[in-house]
Structure 1
Amino acid sequence: MLKKFLLNQFKRLAIALFTLAIAFQVFTATAIAVEVYDIPELPIGDRTWVQDMAKVLSSTTEGAVRDKIDELAEKTDFQVRFLTVRRIDFGQPTQEFTDLVFDKWFATPESKTNQALIVFATEDHRTAIATGERVKAALSDAIAASITDETMLFPAKKSNYNQAAIDGINRLAAILTGEPDPGPPKVVEVDLPQSSSNFKTAEETDGSSSTIVVIGLLIAATVIPMVTYFWFQNQS
């Protein structure tokens, strides 16, 4: 009877821990998704060009992007905001999220007219640009899409977020100052031998952490019933 009881308890515990592991995976995948109300307010006249909420930009990159935007503002009166977040909710289109943040920061057409906003979701590799009327007149939809989908996403998919930010801002600034469009990066496919690296990407690190948790739960599901069984045996 004791053995049957412990076996049933073991099954229940294993199912419970397996369910907990799945719930943990789902939670970690969605808990970091931001919504518009998570984005800080932007006071009128604020000249904070870069908000790195994803914490992926180096201080050197952030300074270079800020200086480029500041130079652009002095030359043209166009003002560009650069916002990084870790993840946008899977069910929300990137452009919709970007437009909502743009509306939050600039509530009227008059306040939007010389403004542009680049949103960069680093972990799900999504970008979008929202523009006011004056900026839109200088930046076609096709080029705006090329900046986000080609200039920025190519390095971003290799987790080179600093390069993505610098390349995107440099190309946008060139266009808005009337210079020729440098175009998207030229991609040359080169077959290289596989090499090992001592450094993990953020995605690999997150995956390893989740795997460790799951393994720990499964070990607990095995060890706890065994310990309980032997304890009961010793008490008999």
Structure 2
Amino acid sequence: MVGIAALKAPTPAVASTGKSAMRSRRVAVSCRAQNQDLSFDSIKRRAAAAAAAALIVATPLCAVANEFDLLANGTPDSYILDDASALNKTTKKSVGDALQELERETGYRVEVATVRKLEFENDAFVFGDKLVSKWFPGATDKRGLLLVVTAGKDGALTGGDSFMKAIGDDLIDSVIGENVSILTEEEKYNEAVQSSVNRVVAKLTNKEDPGPPIRVERQRKRTYKTKGETARTKTATSTIVLTLLGISVVVPMLQYYGYTNKD
């Protein structure tokens, strides 16, 4: 009996050891789960950071895409490259037909290009020269370009030697300084392009120049009263107040007088 009791005595220790082992395994499993959760959160944070970085990097590229699109184009197969999406279908057809007829009659080919913003070459004329050289390598003499920069409210009229000589500096300055400048300030891009092309076509076909648009000065409406207007208002107000006071005093007196006479 003593031997049996001696053998059974260690049982609580074994049970305790088993429970400790189970707790250890549970702690280990819990730690692994927490580590997995932390790892997953870390991955999510890294992915979000990468996405944000991609947006930051992509934003400037989107802003300058228009400029590079024009430079990347080969020789245009049409007369209008509306990269800024500023022109409607009516203007595109009208201008395209006029420039096609101009090339057929005179041999001068004039392109119209719109761009939203110039990022790397702020001078529209320099950028225009680059486009002409890129689009018509070795054959720029009778080639011209009307460039309109919508965000900068600016533009350029440039081209090969024969084109520039036929157009003349005065018309170039007038078209860019008046047609493009005035009308783009009012965000009338269709009218700016149409009126500019009309003047270029008229010059190259020896017709009368339709002239630049007229700048309309907007007069600001006065929202305040002058000293004289204020004084007149005060006088009128005082007169009305005194009249009402007089009526409020005289009418009761007359009524009282009428009642006393009846008696």
1:102-141 superposed matches below 5 A? 102-108=132-138, 111-141=139-169
- Contact 1:36 1:100 (C-alpha < 8 Å) held by counterparts: no
- Contact 1:119 1:129 (C-alpha < 8 Å) held by counterparts: yes
In structure 2, stretches of 5+ residues that fail to align are 1-51, 223-263
Identify the range of structure 1 (168-177 vs 129-138) with the bigger mean alpha-carbon deviation: 129-138
Map of 1:41 onto structure 2: 73
CA distance in 1, matches of 2:144, 2:184: 21
Map of 1:179 onto structure 2: 207
Map of 1:50 onto structure 2: 80
Is the alpha carbon distance of 1:146 and 1:33 closer, same or farther for their aligned partners in structure 2, counting shifts above 3 Å?
A: farther
SS of residue in 2 equivalent to 1:87? coil
Map of 1:165 onto structure 2: 193
1:1-236 superposed matches below 5 A? 31-34=62-65, 37-39=68-70, 40-43=72-75, 47-89=77-119, 92-108=122-138, 111-191=139-219
In structure 1, stretches of 5+ residues that fail to align are 1-19, 195-236
Is the alpha carbon distance of 1:36 and 1:58 closer, same or farther for their aligned partners in structure 2, counting shifts above 3 Å?
A: closer
Larger Rg: 2
Map of 1:227 onto structure 2: none
Is the alpha carbon distance of 1:139 and 1:122 closer, same or farther for their aligned partners in structure 2, counting shifts above 3 Å?
A: same
Deviations 1:37-90 (A, max 9, x none): 4324334xx541001011111011111110111111122111100011110116
CA distance in 1, matches of 2:61, 2:146: 22
Moved over 3 A (4+): 27-31, 34-37
* Relative contact order higher in (CA < 8 Å, ≥ 6 apart): 1
Is the alpha carbon distance of 1:88 and 1:72 closer, same or farther for their aligned partners in structure 2, counting shifts above 3 Å?
A: same
- Contact 2:67 2:115 (C-alpha < 8 Å) held by counterparts: no
Deviation of the 1:103 alpha carbon: 0.9
Deviation of the 1:189 alpha carbon: 2.5
The aligned length equals 168
CA distance in 2, matches of 1:34, 1:150: 28
- Contact 2:80 2:92 (C-alpha < 8 Å) held by counterparts: yes
**RMSD over aligned Cα atoms:** 2.7
Give TM-score scaled by structure 1 length.
0.63
Deviation of the 1:193 alpha carbon: 5.7
SS of residue in 2 equivalent to 1:116? strand
- Contact 2:67 2:118 (C-alpha < 8 Å) held by counterparts: no
Q: Specify which structure has the higher proportion of helix.
A: 2
SS of residue in 1 equivalent to 2:85? coil
- Contact 1:36 1:97 (C-alpha < 8 Å) held by counterparts: no
